[in-house]
């Protein structure tokens, strides 16, 4: 059964909910609500990875996330720490996190893989081609499916060389990272190839730009007098969450281990419908 990872952004500038949960008490309450709604894992992050986001000092990042990680782990939740910094990963695991979610796949900080190896935590290795300020400059592929799969396979080998066995590794194709518009759909269509690598696979499409672009185009096409997509109204969060839930179901059908989302309830319900349809429930 595909699990749900709920997003807890303890940041002032994340693309969807930046600032709403910067206060530790608000972030803890939000995390507990996501857990009650069906999130099997809570992914706590203190640094935005939206395109163009500036880096955050690890000391600031830890000040934001450690109280939240500590409280959520103490409440019985499985906590993941979303960080590219080895020092933050080590501190968060000591505070109760069980998974390190590194969007750089261990490339941003050379100490990350050795640190995770020593900690005993599991690790998410995402496909990554550079920091937020440069990600789109490197979004050129001759064969996206083959290159993403091959680069992820390389990260599995790097983890093994650091002493992290494949059963502790979770792969993420990096939807929205180093991929423009339609390239994200190509990556999603290649999910079964990523799953075939062996480690568990995590997919995060939640509220991302490529979904907003799709829905904006759909609105413009359906409207009268809209000359192009830019003439359509901005896509609201409810529509993005519905689109996210659909992609989550399709990812589950491709065999992924978990989906990372903002709206846990919508995705929980969509996955339940898909299981009932396939004969797994109901």
Q: Report the DSSP beta bridge partners of residue 4.
A: 259
Active site residues: 208, 260
Question: Which residues 6+ apart lie within 8 Å of 113 measured at CB?
Answer: 106, 123, 158, 159, 161, 162, 164
259 contacts 4 by C-beta, under 8 angstroms: yes
3-state secondary structure of 233: coil
Strand spans (E) along the chain: 3-9, 41-45, 78-82, 99-102, 122-126, 169-172, 200-203, 258-261
Name the nearest CA neighbour of 78 among 124, 14, 112, 111.
Answer: 124
Q: What are the backbone angles phi and psi of residue 53, rounded to the nearest 5°?
A: -65, 140
Q: How far is CA 264 from CA 169, 181, 269, in A?
A: 23, 24, 9
Residue 67 has, within 13 A of its CA and on its CB side, a CA count of 13
R_g (Cα) of the chain, nearest Å: 18
């Amino acid at each position: 059964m595909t699990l749900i990872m709920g997003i807890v952004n303890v940041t002032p500038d994340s693309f969807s909910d930046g600032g709403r949960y910067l206060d530790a008490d608000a972030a803890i309450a939000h995390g507990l609500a996501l857990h009650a709604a069906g999130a099997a894992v809570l992914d706590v992050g203190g640094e935005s990875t939206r395109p163009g986001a500036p880096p955050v000092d690890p000391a600031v990042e830890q000040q934001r996330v450690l109280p939240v990680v500590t409280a959520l782990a103490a409440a019985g939740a499985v906590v993941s720490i979303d960080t590219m910094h080895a020092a933050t990963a080590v501190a968060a695991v000591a505070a109760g996190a069980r998974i390190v979610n590194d969007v750089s796949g261990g490339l941003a900080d050379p100490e990350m893989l050795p640190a995770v190896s020593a900690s005993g935590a599991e690790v998410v290795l995402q496909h990554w081609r550079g920091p937020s300020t440069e990600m789109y400059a490197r979004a050129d592929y001759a064969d996206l499916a083959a290159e993403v799969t091959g680069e992820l396979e390389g990260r599995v080998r790097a983890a093994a060389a650091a002493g992290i066995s494949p059963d502790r590794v979770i792969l993420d194709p990096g939807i929205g990272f180093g991929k423009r518009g339609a390239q994200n759909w190509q990556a999603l269509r290649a999910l079964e190839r990523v799953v075939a690598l062996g480690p568990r696979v995590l997919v995060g499409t939640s509220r991302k730009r490529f979904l907003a672009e799709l829905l904006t185009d759909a609105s413009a096409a359906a409207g009268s007098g809209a000359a192009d997509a830019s003439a359509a109204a901005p896509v609201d969060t409810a529509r993005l969450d519905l689109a996210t839930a659909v992609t989550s179901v399709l990812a589950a059908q491709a065999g992924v281990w978990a989906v990372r989302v903002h709206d846990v309830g919508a995705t929980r319900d969509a996955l339940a419908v898909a299981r009932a349809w396939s004969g797994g429930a109901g």
